[in-house]
Amino acid sequence: MNSTNETHDLSLRSWIESANVRNADFPIQNLPFGRYRPIGAIEDFKIGVAIGDQILDLQETGLIDTSDMNVLMSLDAQARLRLRSAISQGLAHGSPEQHAWSKLLSPQCKAEMALPCRIGDYTDFYTGIHHATSVGRLFRPDQPLMPNYKWVPIGYHGRASSIRVSGHTFRRPHGQTKAPDAEQPGVGPCRRLDYELELGYFVGRGNELGQPVPIEVAEDHLFGVTLLNDWSARDIQAWEYQPLGPFLSKNFVTTVSPWLVTMEALAPFRAPLSRPEGDPQPLPYLDSEFNRKSGLLDITLEVRILTQRMAKDGLAPERVTLGSARTAAYWTAAQLIAHHTVNGCNLQSGDLLGSGTLSGPAANEAGSLLELTEGGKKCVTLTNGEQRTFLEDGDTLVLRGWCERPGAAHIGLGEVRGTVMA
């Protein structure tokens, strides 16, 4: 699953011409999974594979015998490799399946997308060391990182019921806040609304209660990756998060992309994990030869903003962040699985693990406004003259991600889009 094969061949082309366009998100080397139906339809969502600007109805191809994405995700690694190979062969230029499969395509622009699968549980981690350091410096200048950060993957349990798929709107959250000079807190709308640029790791095959997952096989339990925006109410968070961590500041909404880019598709885009000199090496249950050699994912990440005024003036979303998951993450996805289960916790198919905010070392790689504005002390000035310290009503955030490397096809993760309403 972690090795490249014929499905990654740079010269491979599809009979669907939109998949052959340079730098397309969904070439034949990608083949992400999602759930869709025609816009306005009341039928059940179907399992599809994105190819170019189309969606292939995977169920109608006869390659799978389930309409349940979670069942598909729980296949073992070898079955998933066989399925990927069969899809690739059927979509390849010159395939004998072209005539039959061409009738099973739907334009993505005419499809309504659902969450990729049933999400039973959601755990949000804190793997972005530059984010953790920057935010810690705002609140604890003498000790930006807590002593446990470099020893244990920090995480908290989020709210699965408020996870939404890209393209939705949501209301600005209310909650309890307290100004530094106030005698007591009050309740009202959040005034420091923020985004968090993350990756979402989806569990494929679960583990039995009481049976930890060794790091050597942890990635066999991962199905795929999405983009994730863990919206945050920073003023509510500042008042509530001690001593037990975030609550209302995080559980009002989380947005994910509709497409699951599989771990198999990401095989050409692996990077080594190394610790800076002087940092402790991972404990044995969080360490393996493969994890050191290829544990990180080399994914470029971008955040753009579209204000109401920009949209009215016909302007495109403007970039505010461009960074890389490879330089941002201190812990790998395999380490998150191994740590999550070391106490015997049972993960299940469809469980979602958030990476935490993935900020790079440079200022323009920050994955949140909290960092970009240094806690609201500075403004982000857009090309049209508008300024932001935190998000305003009507703002739309667009997260994008892609992988590119010499000798490999460019593949994308699509986008996560969400709009703040009053």
DSSP 276-305: PTTSPPPPGGG--HHHHHH-EE--EEEEEE
d(CA 224, CA 265): 9
Task: Say whether the peptide bond before residue 243 is cis (omega within 30 degrees of 0).
Answer: yes
d(C-alpha 34, C-alpha 45), whole Å: 9
Across 105-114, 136-145, 248-257, 285-294, least confident range: 136-145
DSSP 382-405: PTTS-EESS--TT-EEEEEEEEEE
Residue 335: left (phi > 0), alpha (psi -120 to 50), or beta?
Answer: alpha
Reported as a pLDDT band with limits 50, 70 and 90, residue 241 is confident
Higher-confidence residue: 378 or 242? Answer: 378
Q: Which of 131, 221, 339, 340 is catalytic?
A: 131
Assign 1 a pLDDT band (cuts: 50, 70, 90): low
pLDDT per residue as tens digits for the range 307-359 = 999 999 999 999 999 999 999 999 999 999 999 999 999 999 999 999 999 99
On whether 298 is known to bind a ligand per the annotation, the reply is no
- Is 383 annotated in a binding site? The answer is no
- Residue 254 annotated in ligand binding: yes
Mean pLDDT value across residues 277-287 = 96
Average pLDDT, the chain: 96
Angle at 185 between CA 132 and CA 189, to 5 degrees: 75
Whether 415 has a binding-site annotation, put simply, is no
Q: How confident is the model at residue 141 (pLDDT cuts 50, 70, 90)?
A: confident
Q: What is the mean pLDDT of residues 251-275?
A: 97
Residues contacting 225, CB < 8 A, separation 6+: 199, 200, 201, 202, 260, 261, 263, 266, 297, 299, 333, 413
Sign of CA dihedral 19, 23, 28, 32: negative
Can 131 be counted among the known catalytic residues? Answer: yes
pLDDT of res. 258: 98
For the chain, percent of residues with pLDDT exceeding 90:
94
Instruction: Confirm whether residue 195 is marked as ligand binding.
Output: no
pLDDT at 220: 95
Domains in the chain: ranges and CATH? 6-113 (2.30.30.230), 122-421 (3.90.850.10)
pTM of the model: 0.97
What is the DSSP pairing of strand 396-405 with strand 155-157?
unpaired
Residue 357 among known ligand-binding residues: yes
Helix and strand numbers, DSSP H then E, in the chain:
11, 26
The answer to whether 262 is annotated as binding is no
Q: What is the pLDDT of residue 244?
A: 86
Are 198 and 288 contacting, i.e. CB atoms less than 8 angstroms apart?
A: no
pLDDT average, residue stretch 113-139: 94
